[in-house]
């Protein structure tokens, strides 16, 4: 008998046909999240034609429940409602129930999340539960409901269908039309002007919404939003704006000090539930950690702060230890819960420290990490964090104790070893192309900033493994891989982030294979995601079965939007390959968004578009390093924070037009160029940096 074991907030569950009273159609899925529900008494289906056909044949409403493996409240609702036989009977008798892993099917999630935002007065999140017509057109969507309220929701729609069926259909038609309209932006007129004034207004509006004392957005909850901080860092670099620099640096300092950061094991939780970064929602997502590695790497490259370097190294240690597969690719997430409790793996009581550590170690750890007998969280538990207040900073605390650093290191090792014996959070071991690409870029960014060759080797190995399992000969990608099985066509973000990873690897290796790979992916995206009515690209390919609306992802969020990322790919490829059609495509995509949306009303959701705007206003340098000594010279330059530079080169001139006639026998020269016009070549990194000022 084959048994698969999955762990979630309510303990570990084995998945096999023989050992459970109920088995539904999710049993053959690859998603760990779907498999967690494979033995619910609810007769779940995966998203697909079978479920929709049954709903239409039996004239039943669809009940679409969307979540992900690390989602705390998804597990709670499963335990309270979906494992309950009475609730299951109501659902099975009156609905066709569909379970969706939002990470595998972000296209489905987007449709019904948009419906929730339009149809629900409350906040929207996960689990996301939608009621739809048999063909998928949404009627209503909401989030978590306790068992009693969930039964009330079910009974309400059962009665509405019986009493007001035609009105329900009419409302679904109107809601679907609105959803479709929200994803449409007509192309901008020719000749759109990108101006420094726009970037200044962008900065002013963005800064108004940020917390200048604690960093991040004002209020709670707080999400790291790496794109916002990357934009501020770049804007401050270009303009010298000290307010922008202060806010991004304050944000990074508080992220690294707060409870959102795992001070023993490295890595970041998804967000903080409070305004001070203290209490995390304890799930750890690969996409957060990859982007934060890139963010802290850039910050270290500019500031040289040792704490930023430590965060990068500790986070990548966590990734290697807990999120890296035997193939070199990266798993998706760790659950917020373990042994039935949120955060149990990560928190401490004061008496635990006393039992594990020497008196001197316990006293130091209590001071250093703010541990008290009363606790700083619920039920006397402590979330480890450090203070940035004068007189109580980590440096000051260690300086006041003889052999403070050694004593702290000894205590940390003991606590980490003890924590490792606890019941571990559940692992979502599926591998997603987009998220793997973000992590590859994170490793590459860390390799450059920290001048750590092992990180670059890891990035290259992961890229080769990823493309070995996800890339097909014509450029088509798979979205997902789990235990060697891929089943879902990739979406636009998969292509965009994979191409970005390739472009970053080219910059660090000067291996044109990575440029060719990026071009293959970009050309496939143009061929299969283009919209005849807009310069923006659809999120889904033309090969995929259509949903009720073929959506276009316009905004950036915790992860950069797929269109802004792809526009950046076209921009870089246009420069590297001397292809005006690519650069024109990028410019028109940016103009379409700036012209068709009120970007300045909420710039936080357009920060990656803002990066592209900065590059239009402040054109980049092309830095060509040509000659046998480039492997020594290039890392010296690329360890610096230089957002206004693109690097290319190699031992030979290769095939790029920008490198023609730049090789000098027995010499290595650095050419600093802008728009193909080069200054006199130099031989040292410092001389090139002087030209880049």
CB contact at 8 A, 563 and 620: no
* Distance between CA atoms of residues 300 and 316, nearest Å: 15
Report pLDDT for 18: 53
Q: What is the CATH number of the domain that holds 238?
A: 1.50.10.10
Query: In this structure, are 499 and 547 located in the same domain?
Result: yes
| Termini Cα distance of the chain | 67
**Cβ-contact 523, 570 below 8 angstroms:** no
Single residue among 421, 449, 478 that ends a domain in this structure: 421
Centroid of chain to Cα 370: 30
Q: For position 121, what pLDDT does the model report?
A: 65
Taking only the tens place, the pLDDT of each residue in 79-93 is 999 999 999 999 999
Of 186, 230, 216, nearest to 554 (Cα)? 186
Residue 435, Cα to own-chain centre: how many angstroms? 7
Percent of the chain with pLDDT over 70: 97
Task: Report helix, strand or coil for 244.
Answer: helix
Provide φ and ψ at 294, rounded to 5°: -60, -45
Question: Per the domain annotation, does 189 fall within a domain?
Answer: no
Q: What pLDDT, in 10s, does the model give residues 182-230? A: 878 888 878 789 999 999 999 999 999 999 999 999 999 999 999 999 9
CA angle 682, 688, 691 (to 5 degrees): 105
Q: What is the three-class DSSP state of 342?
A: strand
| Pair 373, 246 in one domain | no
Residue 206: inside a domain: yes
Residue 672 is assigned to a structural domain of this protein: yes
Q: What is the percentage of the chain residues whose pLDDT exceeds 90?
A: 90
Amino acid 2: pLDDT:
40
Spatial separation of the C-alpha atoms in residues 247 and 239, rounded to whole Å: 15
Backbone angles phi, psi at 129, to 5 degrees: -120, 120
**Is residue 191 in some structural domain?**
no
Q: What domain range includes position 483?
A: 196-339+428-618
pLDDT tens for each residue of 552-599: 999 999 999 999 999 999 999 999 999 999 999 999 999 999 998 889
Look at residues 593, 618, 643 and tell me which one is the last residue of a structural domain: 618
Rounded CA-CA distance 51/65 in Å is: 13
Residue 187 lies in a domain: no
CA distances for 666 relative to 626, 628, 663, 669, 678, angstroms: 11, 8, 9, 10, 21
pLDDT, mean over the chain: 94
For residue 483, the tally of other CB atoms under 10 A from its CB is 11
Instruction: Flag whether pLDDT at 627 surpasses 70.
Output: yes
Instruction: Enter the pTM of the model.
Output: 0.94
Residues 19 and 141 in one domain: yes
pLDDT band at 11 (very low <50, low <70, confident <90, very high): very low
Strand 284-285 and strand 333-334: the pairing is antiparallel
Residue 326 clears pLDDT 80, i.e. is over it = yes
Residues 608 and 678 in one domain: no
- Say whether both 269 and 375 belong to one domain: no
* CATH (domain of 111): 3.40.30.10
Q: Does residue 264 register a pLDDT over 90?
A: yes
479 and 606 both lie in a single domain: yes
Q: Positive or negative, the Cα torsion across 466, 468, 469, 470?
A: positive
Whether the per-residue pLDDT at 489 is higher than 90: the answer is yes
Identify whether 190 is part of a domain.
no
pLDDT tens for 134-148 read 999 999 999 999 999
Contacts of residue 116, Cβ cutoff 8 Å, sequence gap at least 6: 124, 128, 130, 141, 142, 143
Give 10's contacts (C-beta < 8 A, 6+ positions apart): 75, 78, 79, 340
Q: Are strands 341-342 and 427-428 parallel, antiparallel or unpaired?
A: unpaired
Q: Provide the domain count of the chain.
A: 4
pLDDT at 462 > cutoff 70:
yes
Q: Domain boundary at 588, 618, 648, which?
A: 618
Of the candidates 586, 551, 289, which has an alpha carbon nearest to the alpha carbon of residue 436? Answer: 289
Answer yes or no: is 470 within a domain.
Answer: yes
Residues 385 and 510 in one domain: no
Cα 470 from Cα 489, distance rounded (Å): 10
Separation CA 206–CA 605 (nearest Å): 10
Q: Does the structure show a pLDDT above 70 at 376?
A: yes
Query: Same structural domain for residues 45 and 172?
Result: yes
Residues 217 and 250 both lie in one domain: yes
Nearest 5°: phi and psi at 139? -105, -40
Domain shared by 454 and 534, yes or no:
yes
Pair (312, 437) in one structural domain:
yes
Q: Is there a single domain that holds both residue 163 and residue 17?
A: yes
């Amino acid at each position: 008998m084959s048994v698969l074991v999955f762990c979630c907030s309510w303990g570990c569950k084995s998945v096999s046909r023989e050992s459970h009273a109920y088995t539904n159609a999710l049993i053959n899925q690859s998603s760990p999240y779907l498999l967690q529900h494979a033995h619910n008494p609810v007769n779940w289906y995966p998203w697909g034609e079978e479920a929709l056909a049954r709903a239409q044949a039996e004239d039943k409403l669809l009940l679409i429940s969307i979540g992900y493996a690390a989602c705390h409240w998804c597990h709670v609702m499963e335990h309270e409602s979906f494992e309950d036989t009475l609730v299951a009977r109501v659902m099975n008798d009156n609905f066709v129930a569909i379970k969706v892993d939002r990470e595998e099917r972000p296209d489905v999630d987007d449709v019904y999340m948009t419906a929730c935002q339009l149809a629900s007065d409350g906040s929207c999140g996960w689990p996301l539960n939608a009621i739809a017509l048999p063909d998928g057109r949404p009627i209503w969507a909401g989030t978590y409901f306790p068992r009693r309220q969930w039964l009330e929701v079910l009974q309400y729609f059962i009665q509405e269908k019986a009493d007001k069926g035609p009105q329900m259909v009419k409302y679904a038609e109107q809601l679907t039309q609105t959803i479709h309209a929200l994803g449409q932006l007509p192309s901008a007129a020719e000749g759109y002007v990108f101006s420094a004034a726009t970037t200044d207004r962008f900065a002013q509006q963005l800064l108004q919404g940020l917390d200048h004392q604690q960093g991040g957005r004002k209020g709670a909850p707080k999400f790291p939003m790496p794109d916002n901080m990357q934009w501020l860092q770049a804007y401050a670099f270009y303009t010298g704006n000290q307010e922008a620099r202060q806010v991004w640096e304050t944000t990074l300092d508080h992220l690294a000090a707060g409870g959102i950061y795992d001070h023993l094991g490295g890595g970041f939780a998804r967000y903080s539930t409070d305004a001070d970064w203290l209490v995390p929602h304890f799930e750890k997502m690969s996409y957060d950690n990859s982007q934060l590695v890139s963010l802290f790497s850039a910050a270290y490259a500019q500031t040289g702060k040792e704490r930023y370097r430590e965060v990068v190294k500790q986070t990548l240690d966590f990734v290697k230890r807990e999120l890296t597969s035997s193939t070199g690719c990266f798993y998706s997430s760790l659950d917020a819960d373990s042994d039935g409790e949120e955060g149990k793996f990560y928190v401490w009581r004061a008496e635990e420290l006393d039992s594990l550590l020497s008196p001197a170690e316990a006293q130091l750890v209590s001071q250093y990490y703010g541990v008290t007998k009363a606790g700083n969280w619920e039920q006397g538990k402590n979330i480890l964090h450090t203070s940035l207040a004068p007189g109580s900073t980590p440096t000051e605390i260690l300086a006041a104790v003889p052999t403070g650093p050694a004593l702290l290191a000894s205590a940390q090792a003991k606590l980490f070893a003890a924590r490792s014996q606890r019941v571990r959070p559940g692992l979502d071991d599926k591998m997603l192309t987009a998220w793997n690409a973000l992590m590859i870029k994170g490793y590459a960014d860390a390799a450059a900033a920290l001048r750590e060759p092992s990180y670059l080797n890891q990035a290259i190995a992961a890229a080769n493994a990823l493309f070995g399992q996800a890339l097909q000969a014509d450029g088509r990608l798979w979205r997902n891989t789990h235990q060697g099985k891929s089943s879902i066509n990739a979406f636009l973000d998969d292509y965009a982030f994979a191409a970005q990873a390739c472009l970053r690897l080219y910059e660090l290796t000067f291996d044109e294979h990575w440029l060719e790979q990026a071009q293959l992916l970009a050309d496939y995206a143009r061929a299969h995601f283009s919209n005849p009515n807009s310069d923006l690209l659809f999120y889904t390919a033309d090969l995929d079965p259509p949903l009720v609306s073929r959506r276009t992802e316009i905004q950036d969020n915790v992860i950069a939007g797929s269109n802004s990322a792809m526009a950046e790919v076209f921009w870089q490829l246009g420069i590297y390959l001397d292809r005006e059609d690519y650069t024109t495509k990028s410019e028109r995509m940016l103009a379409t968004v700036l012209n068709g949306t009120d970007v300045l009303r909420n710039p936080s959701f357009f920060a990656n578009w803002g990066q592209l705007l900065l590059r239009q206003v402040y054109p980049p340098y092309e830095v060509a390093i040509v000659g046998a000594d480039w492997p020594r010279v290039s890392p010296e330059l690329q360890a610096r924070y230089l957002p206004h530079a693109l690097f290319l080169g190699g031992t030979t001139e290769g095939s790029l037009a920008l490198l023609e006639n730049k090789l000098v026998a027995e010499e290595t020269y650095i050419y600093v160029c802008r728009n193909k016009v080069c200054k006199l070549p130099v031989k040292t990194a410092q001389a090139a940096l002087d030209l880049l000022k």
